[in-house]
Structure 1
Amino acid sequence: MTSLAEVFEHPALTTAAAELSSLRSAAGRLGVPDPVAALRRLDCAPSAIRTSASTVDAGSLVVTSAQEEFRAGVDRAETGGSTETFGTWADTVDGQYGAAVRAAAATAALGARIATHLDELAESAATEVRAIASAASASVAAVLTGDRSAEVVSDVSTACTAVLRTVSAKVASLSSLAEELEPLTSPAVELG
């Protein structure tokens, strides 16, 4: 029987899933939690996040250019004898441009940090779970050949539980990212 390889967004998790396939088969025979399914909780695409962050950063350059053009126009208008009201309005709009640029830059930087953090989490989780599977390989092989002795069943069950705990610990560490995202839930600039 051939099994299809599990494909994840993050390549390290795809590799880990392939190396956990025997442990997964043994877990299925014993009715213990699927270690590969646990990896889905960490699946991510840091490269897509980096691309989005770069797009936001590029967008901030466009806003910076527009702000510079606007400021130059305001300077020309103010030197032409415009009223003080126009200057006040122009300063407000210029400030909004500046706030938008700062918000875009901060968002892009945050996106890059998040992508790096997710990448590091996926890589470290993959390394850890592959080591867990490797350590249990003799017991996994025994279960797959029909051995149901207490020792091998315990080893496989312990390995699956260790994978679940590893993934859960990595997922729990994502709460710090959620805190960083909080400021992005409200508009960066209130246009008036």
Structure 2
Amino acid sequence: MTSPVFEHPALTAAASSLASLRAAAGRIGAPDPVAALRHLDCAPPSISASAATVDSGALLVTSASAEFRAGVEHAETGGSAETFGIWADTVDGQYTAAARAAAETAALGARIASELDTLAVSTAAQVCELAAAAAASVTAVLAGDRSAEVVSTVSSTCTAVVRAISLKLASLSALAAELEPLTAPVVELS
């Protein structure tokens, strides 16, 4: 049986380490520890790359804003400079707000990628430790032993793995709350 592949390499390694526990769990009807890992799967490098793209976009908007401001200053020297200046200041403010929002979004994306990476790595280490502690009982169940002690150890280990993952998932709600403001445009460009 091949080990499941996850987006995050630490979770792929953990799934491989949990393979025997998963097989023992299947024999006694305990929760599947590898299936629980799926809920934490993530690809921090992809998130970081997206954040870097947004940051590059912010730099382009900042550059366009500077060019626009230079053009406005040049144009304000003739005709209806006052009306044009008010309109230009509004547009310039929108450029600035859009650039700031993009830079803040990029920084948030980079931080979230880092936090997800840390979460995946720490969870993988924690569940591997749990599985290692139950290795003797797992081996016994896989060899056909159905004594209460080994079955209980395997079952409680699977439950502990699921609980550990659930606790880590609960910590993601704070990250999700930080993403909420990004669902509405910061500025409407004229």
TM over 0.5: yes
Amino acid corresponding to residue 6 of structure 2 in structure 1: F
2:13 is matched with 15
1:38 to 36, 39, 43: 36
Write the mapping of 1:88-167 to structure 2, written as runs, cut at 5 A: 88-167=86-165
Distance 1:25 1:110 in 2: 39
Q: Contact 2:134–2:157 at 8 Å: present in 1 too?
A: yes
What amino acid is aligned across from residue 96 of structure 1 in structure 2?
Answer: Q
CA contact (8 A) 2:75 2:81 kept: no
The equivalent of 1:181 in structure 2 is 179
Report the alpha carbon displacement of residue 81 of structure 1 after superposing the two structures with TM: 4.3
Question: Could you state the TM-score of these two structures normalised by the residue count of structure 1?
Answer: 0.97
**How many Å separate the matches in 1 of 2:36 and 2:133?**
18
Partner deviation per Cα, 1:96-118 (whole Å, 9 max, x = no partner): 00000000000000001100110
Amino acid at match of 2:20: S
Question: Which letter does structure 1 place at the counterpart of 2:139?
Answer: A
Shift of 1:82: 3.6
Q: Distance in 2 between matches of 1:96 and 1:174?
A: 32
User: 52, 57, 63: which one pairs with 2:55?
Assistant: 57
In 1, are the aligned partners of 2:7 and 2:41 still within 8 Å (CA)? yes
Find the partner of 1:73 among 67, 71, 74.
71
Tell me the CA shift for residue 185 of structure 1. Answer: 1.1
SS of match in other structure, 1:79: coil
**What percent identity do the matched residue pairs reach?**
71
Distance of 2:78 and 2:115 partners within structure 1: 52
User: Once the 2 structures are TM-superposed, how far is the Cα of residue 79 of structure 1 from its aligned partner?
Assistant: 2.0
| Gap regions ≥5 residues in structure 2 | none
Q: CA RMSD in A?
A: 0.7
For 1:121, give the aligned amino acid: L
* Unaligned stretches of 5+ residues in structure 1: none
Correspondent of 2:22 among 21, 24, 43: 24
Letter in 2 for 1:143: V
Aligned length: 190
Instruction: Give TM-score, length-normalised by structure 2.
Output: 0.98
